[in-house]
Structure 1
Amino acid sequence: MTDQRTKDKLNELQCRLVAHRMISAYMLSAISTLAQDPQQFLDSMRSHLTETVEQLPVSLQWREHFTDEVLATIRQAETWTGKD
């Protein structure tokens, strides 16, 4: 790949990641409204996903990226009210 093609592909992948995070956060927010305590539901999901990161068969660096992505997605889910 040329440098420009590499940059274009990275931009495409970044856009896909942002879209995936937004959709995931929106779905988590919607699902959490069905729970008796929406915040407890999101806290439980955050806890479970960050605790299981050590089981991923990837390097430590990628585990940190995974954790960061999980936390950012759940933070985004917490900001949506369902009225948007």
Structure 2
Amino acid sequence: MRSGPVVWISLVVAAVVVLYGIASVFAVPRSAWTELSRRRSNWIWLMLLFGPLAVLLFFGTVRQHLVHPERYEVIDGVAEADG
């Protein structure tokens, strides 16, 4: 079975995206992870198993919550709007 260059280029791009995602997991300070009771290792395993889809999920949800926790504070049941 032969693989064309499109397949190889796609695999390389996917590997680069996953490595960038893992690096961004380590870029967030450990204190932010423990403060929100989340685990780095879970996200690294998820990225290794599911690839770029897990990186997209991390960047779309968890990373924003870890980097900007003040945006996600709930006061009297309503979150404040960004100012």
Shorter-chain TM-score: which interval? 0.3 to 0.5
TM-score with structure 2 length normalisation?
0.40
Bigger helix fraction:
1
Q: Specify the structure having the higher radius of gyration (Cα).
A: 2
TM-score with structure 1 length normalisation?
0.40
